Amino acid sequence: MSSNELQQDTGCRKETRDPAALADEVGDELMFHFRSLVDDKLAAGLSFDDAWKEAEGQFGPMRRYDMECRMGQIARHGRRRRLAAVSCFVVAVISGWFVFQSHRNAEQGQLRDEIALLRQEQAALKADAVRGGYARQIAGGFDLTGSVVDDSGHPLENVTVLIIRKTWPGGGYRQEAFTVTTNDRGRFVMPEFVPSDDQYGIQVSALKEGFAFQSVYQLKDKQPIARPDPIALRLEHAAPVTLVVRDGAGHPLANVAVIPSARKTPGGNDYMVYFHGSEPVRATTDATGRVCLNCFLAGDQAGIFLRIPGEDWSNREFVVAGENQVVDVATNETKRDPDGS
């Protein structure tokens, strides 16, 4: 087989691109892998330092692999360039080392900055919560972490995560509601959120417009108290449902508050939203008495909380038949003058 035939058959080619650009690509590639390792370990609930150390152990000596890749690229330059490449090699290794180190430090610095910003935000939230009468953080407690993705596995940003924390301080019972939204990597973290020395329960519901909501409940009541399992939710695209609220006379009712409260899937999975702390996901009917809920799937047995202005909250249930379904929600009112008299 001639060298031309070999080139055609294997696609082997002489590298003609700038070695410095290739060196940058090697660094980018290795750092993408390393950063993905760190991200996964952070999502699993490790602290930043532990995640970094474990990732280093799992990846192996990055300097060595970086150098092996670069040396391979030098060899690709063919015989005629080899002499020049060898003299460039020393410069490339030294400059590559500094590029790699600054790249690595920049990545590490960037991750650390993200964690620091998150902690600043949480400190501010803690200060607000303390002013409100109770603390979001429990000193010395376990972190609660979670991630939300769509049905293709892509991270979902700006998911509203409603969290109910149940604790039993001094034998009593306390239930508190919190809200957090996922970041651009679909993750959230509540630092020092649950006690490390006493039983706790957490109910986590994830809602985002256009996706069927899900929830999960954990109860840790056995000593030694375990840290919470990282929350991992995968949301499917929802079937939009339009609710129409009318009175007994058939007149549409505006400003009726509606909150999705439960969904039972055909497969038997139960998901729920606690009423406590559900204000962020409350919707209201418009002047035609309509509100669109885009958080159920076809086939779901859906539950909602509903409140007509001036009345108490009540429950309604219906089955989601399919996309763009219109559900007429009857009320108990039998007579209403649309002019308000």
CB of 55 to other proteins, least distance (A): 9
CB of 20 to other proteins, least distance (A): 16
Q: What's the sign of the alpha-carbon dihedral 61, 187, 269, 301?
A: negative
Report helix, strand or coil for 2: coil
Q: Which is nearer to other proteins, 71 or 116 (CB)?
A: 71
CB of 76 to other proteins, least distance (A): 6
Backbone angles phi, psi at 186, to 5 degrees: 70, 20
Q: Which is nearer to other proteins, 7 or 105 (CB)?
A: 7
Contact criterion met (CB below 8 Å) for 221 and 271: no
Q: Which is nearer to other proteins, 26 or 256 (CB)?
A: 26
CB of 22 to other proteins, least distance (A): 10
Q: Which is nearer to other proteins, 11 or 171 (CB)?
A: 11
Report helix, strand or coil for 332: coil
DSSP 266: T
DSSP codes, 24-49: HHHHHHHHHHHHHHHHHHHHTT--HH
CB of 31 to other proteins, least distance (A): 10
CB of 336 to other proteins, least distance (A): 51
Q: Which is nearer to other proteins, 62 or 125 (CB)?
A: 62
CB of 188 to other proteins, least distance (A): 16
Q: Which is nearer to other proteins, 10 or 16 (CB)?
A: 10
Q: Which is nearer to other proteins, 32 or 134 (CB)?
A: 32
CB of 243 to other proteins, least distance (A): 35
Contacts to other proteins by CB under 8 A:
9-13, 25-26, 28-30, 32-33, 35-37, 39, 54, 57-62, 64-65, 68-69, 72-73, 75-76, 153-155, 185
DSSP codes, 120-168: HHHHHHHHHHHHTTS-S--TT-EEEEEEEEETTS-B-SS-EEEEEEEE-
Contact criterion met (CB below 8 Å) for 194 and 141: yes
Q: Which is nearer to other proteins, 141 or 186 (CB)?
A: 186
Give how far Cα 114 sits from Cα of 48, 106, 186, Å. Answer: 11, 12, 14
What is the end-to-end Cα distance of the chain in Å, rounded? 97
- How far is residue 74's CA from residue 60's CA, in Å, rounded to a whole number? 23
DSSP codes, 170-200: GG--EEEEEEEE--TTSEEEEEEEE-SSS-E
